[in-house]
Amino acid sequence: MEEIRYERDLYEPLKEYLTGCGFEVRAEINKCDLAAKRDDYLIIVEMKRHLSFDLLEQAIERQSYADAVYVCIPKPVNLKEDKNWKSKLRVLKRLGLGLLLVGKLGCLSTVEEALAPQDASQPRVSVKKRQSLTREFHSRSLDLNTGGCCGVPLVTAYRETALYLAYLLNTHGPLTAKSMRALGSHPGKTTAILNANYYGWFEKAPDKSFSLTEKGQEAIVTYALLISAFQSI
């Protein structure tokens, strides 16, 4: 078993594991590392390189609006299920949290459910937070983030929609809002995003067509990997 050095390296194995269990997965959504939904069942996973008080604090807060919460850490290279390890599991069990372990052996990654979430007898108290997370979850048509990354701009539902407009303009040249909707942009948000021009990416001409500004062209380069996702679909 090899050491996993970065928190972000936990994300793809987790996503593959949960997708295989029938869940739809999104990363970095409403400050949660990973959210997964199957029908109306919502799981949140918080990832760290080690078990810590900060990790437990985050996970407990998520219990107020999720159906199940896991913490996830790399599987210790020389895991010993000794008294110390069993004590940690006992604390997690008492808190009602599950534990996922991600291991790495060459190119192969493994995910183990070391502990299933228990009933912590804590009623869900933040309906608004659950509704907000669910809205953002379903507003993202693609999973363009990697859970556990720091210092990189997140692709929210709003940014994803704006990037798609930039992609259309970069591909087809100047277009009207109506033309962009005909090409698949969001029917209800296209005009509002173009007119608000929050990121400074769009320029409106007298004939009501839009084109990319210099900032818009820079966004195409900055988010090249994300733009390629639009091309693939």
What does each C-alpha distance from 77 to 6, 15, 58, 101 come to in angstroms?
Answer: 14, 22, 25, 11
For residue 34, is it within any domain? yes
Give the model's pLDDT for residue 233: 62
For residue 117, is it within any domain? yes
pTM over 0.75: no
Domain boundary among 111, 139, 167: 139
110 in the same domain as 173? no
121: region left, alpha or beta (phi > 0 left; psi from -120 to 50 alpha): left
Give the model's pLDDT for residue 1: 64
181 in the same domain as 102? no
Give the model's pLDDT for residue 74: 93
Q: Is 176 helix (H, G, I), strand (E, B) or coil?
A: strand
How many domains are there within the chain? Answer: 2
110 in the same domain as 176? no
CATH no. for residue 168? 1.10.10.10
Element (H, E) at 73: strand 68-74
174 in the same domain as 83? no
Give the model's pLDDT for residue 172: 95
DSSP state of 65: T
For residue 131, is it within any domain? yes
The strands making up 202-204's β-sheet, listed across from edge to edge, are: 175-176, 209-212, 202-204
Q: Pseudo-torsion of CA 223, 150, 49, 116, nearest 10°?
A: -70
Q: Which tens digit of pLDDT belongs to each residue from 100-140? A: 999 988 888 899 999 999 865 555 668 888 888 888 887 77
CA dist., res. 223 & res. 218, Å (int): 9
CA dist., res. 61 & res. 114, Å (int): 21
69 in the same domain as 39? yes
Residues of the chain with pLDDT under 50: none
Domain limits for position 163: 157-232
170 in the same domain as 216? yes
Query: Residue 219 corresponds to which amino acid?
Result: A
CA dist., res. 138 & res. 35, Å (int): 11
CA dist., res. 29 & res. 136, Å (int): 7
For residue 19, is it within any domain? yes
Six-digit token string for 97: 């949290």
The strands making up 98-105's β-sheet, listed across from edge to edge, are: 24-29, 32-38, 41-47, 68-74, 98-105, 108-115
Specify whether the CB–CB gap between 130 and 124 falls below 8 A. yes
208 in the same domain as 119? no
For residue 181, is it within any domain? yes
Give the model's pLDDT for residue 141: 67
Q: Rounded to the nearest 5°, which phi and psi values hold at 168?
A: -65, -45
CA dist., res. 226 & res. 151, Å (int): 17
Q: Which tens digit of pLDDT belongs to each residue from 128-139? A: 888 888 888 877
